[in-house]
A and B are shown apart, each in its own frame.
Chain A
Amino acid sequence: QVQLVESGGGVVRPGTSLRLSCAASGFSFSSYGMHWVRQSPDRGLEWVAVTSNDGTHKYYADSVKGRFTISRDNSKNTLYLEMNSLRPEDTGLYYCAKGPRPYAHWGQGTLVTVSS
């Protein structure tokens, strides 16, 4: 069965960086686009970024464009989210989700807290 396991969250200061990972199993990872979606009490559910199955096409929410980078390693069945210049409003639970939309498969999430 499809399994998505996020990791890498933590408590960080504003302006710093963090890299999230999502380990995938139970499906042909290299055949599917993958997404990051975050959730917070203030902003609710918010789509963050998507990468195509081969990593050549990537799209971002305006709120993270230029600061976050989505990538994937199909040889390791792993999705990444590199987050730079973090802001307090980036605080939330970050989920990876298997494409296509809508999302039938989500991970359990990894918590990112940006606070001074």
Chain B
Amino acid sequence: EIVLTQSPGTLSLSPGERATLSCRASQSVSSSYLAWYQQKPGQAPRLLIDGASNRATGIPDRFSGSGSGTDFTLTISRLEPEDFAVYYCQEYQSSAETFGQGTKVEIK
């Protein structure tokens, strides 16, 4: 099983600031099979990024993904009030996909 470790656990930032979230895999993951989701309280996860760097339909361009191998990053260039949420990475290379434990982006 591929273990995904996200850091930091919590990120305290102000609107307008840049957010950088990390996802580290226990073994190499093909970039084609790494995704990022956003989840707000009471809602299902929302797909942001697939294939490590491709924005999903309707996702603003302030969200970007990068990385390869075992290290992946989600960057939010300028935080908007609606971006404060929990973010998860997911690998779907293996038949039993796994998710990271999440990074909470909170208002400072």
CB–CB B57/A102 < 8 A: no
CB–CB A107/B90 < 8 A: no
Separation in Å of the B43 CB from the closest CB of chain A? Answer: 8
Interface size of B by Cβ–Cβ distance < 8 Å? 21
Q: List 13 A-B contacts (CB under 8 A).
A: A45-B45, A46-B99, A47-B98, A59-B96, A61-B96, A101-B33, A101-B90, A102-B92, A103-B45, A104-B47, A106-B45, A108-B44, A109-B44
Q: Size range of the interface on A?
A: 10 to 19
CB–CB B97/A101 < 8 A: yes
CB–CB A102/B98 < 8 A: no
Q: Is A80 an interface residue (CB 8 A)?
A: no
Separation in Å of the A19 CB from the closest CB of chain B? Answer: 21
A: residues with CB less than 8 A from B are: 44-47, 59, 61-62, 95, 101-104, 106-109
CB–CB A106/B102 < 8 A: no
Inter-chain CA distance A46–B95, complex, in Å, is 13
B84-108 CB contacts (< 8 Å) to partner A:
88, 90, 92, 95-102
Inter-chain CA distance A46–B88, complex, in Å, is 12
List, in ascending order, chain A residues with CB within 8 A of B97's CB.
47, 101
The residue that B44 contacts in the complex, of A59, A61, A106, with Cβ under 8 A, is: A106
Closest 10 pairs between A and B when the two form their complex, measured CB to CB: A102-B35, A106-B44, A45-B99, A101-B92, A104-B47, A47-B97, A102-B50, A44-B101, A61-B96, A102-B47
